[in-house]
Structure 1
Amino acid sequence: MTKDAYAQAGVDIAAGNEAVHKISQVVKDTYTPNVLGSLSGFGSLMEIPTGYQHPVLVSGSDGVGTKLLLAVAAENNTTIGQDLVAMVMNDIVAEGAKPLFLQDYLAVDKLRPDVVAEIVTGVAKATKEVGASLIGGETAELPGLYQPHHYDLAAFGVGIVEKDDLLNAKSHTRAGDILIGLPSSGIHSNGYSLVRSVLGIKTKADFAKLPSELQKTLLTPTTLYYPMLKELLDQHLLTGISNITGGGIVGNLPRSFADNLQAEIKADQINIPDVFKLLKKQGDLSDADMLKTFNNGVGMILIVHPENETKVLEHFKEIIQPVMELGKLQAKPNPDDESVVFTGDFQW
């Protein structure tokens, strides 16, 4: 074999080096003074910030699911990075933590430096938006494992919080606590296998046949919630946060309050985006299927003690952020009752 045997086998080291060169500056732009070392190190280094009495590190890892298939079909790799950061960091923020750093993993069928740069630039920009640093990662060229032009994307993130400020300690919640919903930007990054099934998206051509506005809607990136919550967390105005991802409200909200409580939600207060109405109608989906699969327009639910409700609502008014006053927590009538109940009618 020739001296370029590895390249002939499908792995192009030169392309990898070019990709690193293209992303190095945008990655460095996310660094805070706590980042030590550089991209060339064997390990990534970050010094724990000062000022904490009893710091707790909160970690999470995730991907973006089959939404990747739509990004590939659209040949649009600019927004999927935000989806990745949001999927990881929104979970970390739900524990009351400040995002600290992220590491990403990108596996491709073939290294295309411009595509890698698009993807990682999106990751870096979103990481910086939540105040974290993209301190490392891995780009792997895996010929034979992925279809042409396909890739996978995952990340591991870490946040930091004072131990006494951790949220979702179920003992902190009580009957009468207020439930405030933050709108999602759309489907976010959960339920896309059902989306593709309902809309008949099996190939790139199928996606191309969809109305352009629907294509755009399906690729709308997941909301990054930390910037709008930072001030509330700093002021200790939140008792709990539920990140509404796979499993919807019914699968995620109970993770944030005590087992002897029940969330009563006014269904008609949920502002349901048109894309969910389309999916329900075209797929002939039941309310139960919609509620256990999608966020249906509610990306996060905040649990707030009544005495803090006014300050929380004033904060969102000041930053011009719409919210939904969804309901409250109440004592569960019977131990075997549902943890989430809905009153009124959904506006499908």
Structure 2
Amino acid sequence: MSRYKEAGVDIEAANRLVESIKPLAASTHRRGVLAPLGGFAGLFALDTEKYHQPILVSSTDGVGTKIKVAIMANRHQTIGIDLVAMCVNDILVCGAEPLFFLDYLACGRLEQETALAIIEGIVQGCKAAGCALLGGETAEMPGMYQPGDYDLAGFVVGVVERDKIIDGSEISVGDRILGLASSGLHSNGFSLVRKLFFEELGLGPQDFVPEINASVAEELLRPTRIYAEPILHLLKGYNVRGIAHITGGGFYDNLSRILPQSTKAVIHKDSWEVPAIFRFIQEKGRVPQEEMYRTFNCGIGMVIVLPPEEIDDALLQLKALGEKAYVIGEVVQRKDDQPSVEIL
């Protein structure tokens, strides 16, 4: 007689993991959560007294091949933070407050210690974002994934008043562009990064790199910053006209998404401190400057467009919150034959 466990799927192990997760998920709960973890679906009651015309905002994402670095280093504690950040930061740009998050973990064989470390990171990320971990799924798929391999996906839902949606349409010539510092690579460009560090330079996860004053694993696995606190703070007191999350596509692709067609963003690359990791990649990988700004965040994880009369006060407020923030550019008139983003 054949059993499911003999085919590589351990239902009891999955059930034990769920029991371990329940108190972790409960620690993220906020007003609106109606049911504990473990049911077929998560339930959340929207506060209709707080919002007059609520618009739900959702985003889904993964962590990409950064997971391969976590597996190589056997360090999984921060990869869950990355997952939450990649989803939450994308709804913040619309002006949305994160409400709840769900995760999906797929693996060949469920390793309890690894899975728990990942989910602890997700919980940490949810707390930083102010959203509840409402549910998730763990899928054990032998034959689909090699032993030790796994993949992650996340899904977040937030809410914003209809008349407070941030979409860039109010951006105008003369506005200033403010940048919030990244924590490093975040979760983009890792196919290029892994090729450089592990294939071309022949480094291992534990090797110390003097130029970046860190081991490979320490630097590459720094978690993506979650910008919920500074963004939601700015939205309360300032006329935020546009926000861009600097992820895949870098400055060029992400800033152009929010700019009206008649405008252009001029970015001054010497206006902020570029972390050593980016200089190292550019030099050792012989990566052209334009490619750097198209692939990586280069030290700026979130961009906010504000009217010029508000920029100085906003900068002071962000610094009071402990944020590294810089005025990195301005919005100018764009001619038909010009690109929408220029880096000088």
Q: TM-score range by the shorter chain?
A: over 0.9
Q: Structure 2 CA distance, aligned partners of 1:258 and 1:196? A: 36
Q: Say whether residues 1:240 and 2:250 are aligned partners.
A: no
Q: Deviations over 1:247-270 (max 9, x none)?
A: 000110111221110111112113
CA contact (8 A) 1:179 1:328 kept: yes
CA contact (8 A) 2:206 2:216 kept: no
> What SS does the aligned partner of 1:81 have?
helix
- Tell me the residue number matched to 1:16: 14
Q: Structure 1 CA distance, aligned partners of 2:219 and 2:67? A: 14
> What SS does the aligned partner of 2:138 have?
strand
RMSD: 1.7
Q: CA deviation at 1:205?
A: 7.9
Instruction: Single out whichever of 38-47 and 238-247 deviates more from structure 2.
Output: 38-47
Q: Structure 1 CA distance, aligned partners of 2:306 and 2:238? A: 10
Q: CA deviation at 1:215?
A: 2.1
- Tell me the residue number matched to 2:312: 310
Q: CA deviation at 1:234?
A: 1.9
- Tell me the residue number matched to 2:303: 301
- Tell me the residue number matched to 2:220: 218
Q: Structure 1 CA distance, aligned partners of 2:231 and 2:254? A: 19
Q: Structure 1 CA distance, aligned partners of 2:80 and 2:322? A: 25
- Tell me the residue number matched to 2:198: 200
Q: Deviations over 1:68-95 (max 9, x none)?
A: 0000011111000010000000000011
Q: Deviations over 1:293-329 (max 9, x none)?
A: 1111110111001122132112112223221211100
Q: CA deviation at 1:289?
A: 1.4
> What SS does the aligned partner of 1:280 have?
helix
Q: CA deviation at 1:44?
A: 1.1
- Tell me the residue number matched to 2:110: 111
Show structure 2 runs of 5+ residues with no match: none
Q: Structure 2 CA distance, aligned partners of 1:115 and 1:319? A: 33
> What SS does the aligned partner of 1:128 have?
helix
- Tell me the residue number matched to 2:179: 181
Q: CA deviation at 1:55?
A: 0.4
- Tell me the residue number matched to 1:131: 130
CA contact (8 A) 1:11 1:110 kept: yes
Q: Deviations over 1:130-183 (max 9, x none)?
A: 11001011000011111111100010111100011111242x110000000111
Q: Structure 1 CA distance, aligned partners of 2:168 and 2:180? A: 21
1:12 partner amino acid? D
Q: Structure 2 CA distance, aligned partners of 1:342 and 1:206? A: 34
Q: Say whether residues 1:143 and 2:145 are aligned partners.
A: no
Number of residue pairs aligned between Structure 1 and Structure 2: 339
- Closer, same or farther: CA 290–278 of 1 in aligned 2, 3 Å: same
2:172 partner amino acid? R
2:40 partner amino acid? F
Instruction: Single out whichever of 185-194 and 227-236 deviates more from structure 2.
Output: 227-236
- Tell me the residue number matched to 1:338: 339
Show structure 1 runs of 5+ residues with no match: 344-348
- Tell me the residue number matched to 2:189: 191
Instruction: Single out whichever of 151-160 and 307-316 deviates more from structure 2.
Output: 307-316
Q: Structure 1 CA distance, aligned partners of 2:111 and 2:19? A: 13
CA contact (8 A) 1:82 1:122 kept: yes
Q: Structure 2 CA distance, aligned partners of 1:253 and 1:208? A: 35
Q: Structure 2 CA distance, aligned partners of 1:104 and 1:295? A: 25
CA contact (8 A) 2:22 2:38 kept: no
Q: Structure 2 CA distance, aligned partners of 1:35 and 1:189? A: 29
Q: Structure 2 CA distance, aligned partners of 1:122 and 1:320? A: 22
- Tell me the residue number matched to 1:100: 99
Q: Structure 1 CA distance, aligned partners of 2:105 and 2:75? A: 16
- Identify which of 245, 262, 274 aligns with 2:264: 262
> What SS does the aligned partner of 1:245 have?
coil
Q: Deviations over 1:225-276 (max 9, x none)?
A: 0112221112243111110000000110111221110111112113211111
